[in-house]
């Protein structure tokens, strides 16, 4: 018999955290194998990098569907359905014989895998209030960073011992485990299912309402560009660290560990500070810090300082700043829409992932065997985030969320 627990139960909180980590795990686990795939599958760097961008694009496409479906039918059944698609896509990746097949199955895998991150946000909005939601998302971000911290190390060992296909065996098993855990642990949190949520006209109306909301746009666009700075390294970091700096694939994970710990530290500190400084001010601190670090990284790359420290230290700082921005911006964007939290979460994820895919593709396209394109993209992303945030504060579109008038 299913034992259903309150979403605030520690076991359920752990399950939610792990499901949010499914996206980073799906990208980071096989990072050490990316450079070798050019030879194994007889292809190019840009086509191998496309397996990353198409995954993020698949995420972006599917997010538009999962939110309204969960508003209509509930979070729990849609989570189970999405994870089933994820398992099928992972199996397809495992047996792919060409880069074209791998790209297609990565898209399918992403369509299923995005159910976790999208619907966990909706669950959090169902259960928590404003500052509580920001704090919980910050702690999730901190704990979640353990996955991408450990994933490249495990991926490096798997690559050396069993080859690149073993990564997708592991992801298949993980998807099956999540489905089982949802059946056992998670109760339904959507207590007000909307039967009109999946009607095309109603979906269009809901998305139009969300995308025309100035507060939503300010927070979500800041989120998009900040995530772009982070994803640019995830997208081409292996080519820079392994290809440019000459680090062995099984050692790449150890460097990535420090990068991910930067994100975990930022999320943990943000969780402690958010009640004191407010969500909006927390975002401002993160954006300012990220822009400053982006300038340092760009200056080092222009000076042709191509060392491990000159790459990893600034990137750690970028991930630390994102630990401040991403959870707080997510909470800020979700708050105006308690009745259609699933659809709002879909809109956030669509903007975040589609923006990340474009910025990541740009970083891969510009890669020229040096560190300059990576840090140029990181700097440009933070500059855009700073412009959006500053304009919104100047216009009064967003204010500190401690102010009840900005609920």
Radius of gyration from C-alpha coordinates of the chain: 20
pLDDT at 1: 38
Contact (CB, 8 A) for 293 and 314: yes
Four-residue CA torsion sign, 133, 228, 148, 173: positive
Q: Which of 54-63, 224-233, 241-250 has the highest mean pLDDT?
A: 224-233
Residues 178-198 have pLDDT tens digits of: 999 888 887 777 777 667 766
CA 93 to chain centre: 21
Residues 279-335 have pLDDT tens digits of: 888 899 999 999 999 999 999 999 988 888 899 899 999 999 998 998 888 888 887
pLDDT at 187: 78
The burial class, CB within 10 Å (0-12 / 13-18 / 19+), for 280 is buried
Distance CA 322, CA 318 (A): 6
Residues 6+ apart with CB under 8 A from 37: 43, 48, 51, 99, 164
- Residue 256: pLDDT band (50, 70, 90) is confident
pLDDT at 7 over 60: no
128 or 257: whose pLDDT is higher?
Answer: 257
Q: Which residue has the tokens 């099984």?
A: 250
pLDDT at 148 over 70: no
For residue 171, the surrounding DSSP H or E stretch is helix 165-185
CB atoms within 10 A of CB 95: 11
From 61, 234, 81, select the one nearest 147 (Cα to Cα).
Answer: 234
Contact (CB, 8 A) for 130 and 6: no
404 or 298: whose pLDDT is higher?
Answer: 298
Q: Which domains does the chain have, with CATH numbers?
A: 10-185+206-406 (1.20.1250.20)
In the three-class reduction of DSSP (H, G, I as helix; E, B as strand; rest coil), residue 190 is classed as: coil
Question: Which residues are paired to 5 by β-bridges?
Answer: 186
For the packed helices 249-277 and 279-302, what is the interaxial angle rounded to 10 degrees?
140
pLDDT at 49: 74
- Residue 144: pLDDT band (50, 70, 90) is low
Four-residue CA torsion sign, 320, 323, 325, 326: positive
146 or 174: whose pLDDT is higher?
Answer: 174
pLDDT at 3: 43
Token digits of residue 112: 């299923």
Distance CA 141, CA 218 (A): 21
pLDDT at 361: 79
The answer to which of 100-104, 343-347, 359-363 has the lowest mean pLDDT is 343-347
Q: What does the angle CA 347 – CA 353 – CA 356 come to, to the nearest 5 degrees?
A: 140
State the Cα torsion 304-306-310-311 to the nearest 10°.
120
Distance CA 265, CA 218 (A): 25
- Residue 403: pLDDT band (50, 70, 90) is very low
- Residue 72: pLDDT band (50, 70, 90) is confident
* Mean pLDDT, the chain, whole residue set: 82
pLDDT at 169: 92
pLDDT at 77 over 80: yes
Distance CA 104, CA 348 (A): 24
Q: Which residue has the tokens 């000076």?
A: 303
Residues 196-229 have pLDDT tens digits of: 766 788 778 888 889 888 889 999 999 999 999 9
pLDDT at 179: 92
In the three-class reduction of DSSP (H, G, I as helix; E, B as strand; rest coil), residue 86 is classed as: helix
Contact (CB, 8 A) for 302 and 374: no
pLDDT at 58: 84
pLDDT at 81: 92
pLDDT at 106 over 80: yes
pLDDT at 320: 93
User: What number is the average pLDDT over the span 361-373?
Assistant: 85
- Residue 9: pLDDT band (50, 70, 90) is low
CB atoms within 10 A of CB 110: 26
pLDDT at 404: 36
């Amino acid at each position: 018999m299913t034992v259903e627990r309150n979403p605030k139960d520690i076991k359920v909180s752990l399950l939610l955290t792990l499901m949010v980590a499914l996206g980073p795990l799906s990208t980071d686990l096989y990072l050490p194998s990316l450079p070798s795939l050019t030879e194994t599958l007889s292809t190019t760097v840009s086509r191998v990098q496309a397996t990353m961008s198409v995954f993020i694009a698949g995420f972006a496409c599917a997010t538009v569907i999962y939110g309204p479906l969960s508003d209509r039918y509930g979070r729990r059944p849609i989570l189970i359905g999405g994870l089933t698609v994820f398992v099928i896509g992972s199996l397809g990746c495992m047996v792919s014989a060409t880069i074209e097949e791998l790209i297609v199955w990565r898209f399918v895998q992403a369509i299923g895998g995005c159910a976790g991150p999208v619907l966990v946000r909706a669950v959090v909005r169902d259960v928590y209030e404003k500052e509580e939601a920001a704090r919980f998302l910050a702690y999730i971000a901190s704990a979640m960073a353990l996955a991408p911290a450990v994933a490249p190390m495990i991926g490096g060992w798997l690559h050396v011992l069993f080859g690149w296909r073993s990564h997708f065996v592991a992801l298949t098993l993980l998807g099956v485990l999540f489905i089982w855990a949802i059946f056992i642990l998670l109760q339904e949190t959507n207590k007000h299912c909307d039967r009109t949520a999946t009607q095309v006209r109603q979906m269009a109306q809901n998305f139009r309402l969300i995308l025309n909301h100035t507060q939503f746009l300010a927070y979500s666009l800041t989120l998009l560009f900040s995530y772009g700075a982070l994803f640019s390294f995830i997208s081409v970091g292996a080519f820079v660290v392994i290809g440019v700096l000459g680090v062995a694939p099984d050692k790449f994970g150890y460097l990535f560990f420090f990068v991910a710990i930067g994100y975990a530290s930022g999320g943990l500190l943000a969780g402690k500070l958010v009640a004191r400084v407010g969500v909006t001010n927390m975002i401002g601190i993160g954006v300012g810090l990220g822009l400053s670090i982006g300038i340092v990284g760009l200056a080092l790359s222009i000076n042709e300082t191509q060392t491990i420290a000159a790459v990893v230290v600034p990137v750690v700082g970028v991930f630390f700043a994102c630990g401040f921005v991403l959870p707080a911006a997510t909470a800020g964007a979700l708050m105006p829409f308690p009745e259609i939290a699933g659809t709002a979460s879909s809109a956030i994820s669509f903007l975040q992932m589609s923006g990340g895919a474009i910025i990541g593709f740009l970083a891969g396209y510009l890669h020229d065997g040096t560190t300059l394109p990576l840090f140029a993209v990181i700097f440009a992303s933070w500059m855009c985030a700073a412009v959006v945030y500053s304009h919104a504060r100047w216009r009064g579109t967003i204010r500190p969320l401690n102010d009840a008038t900005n609920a």
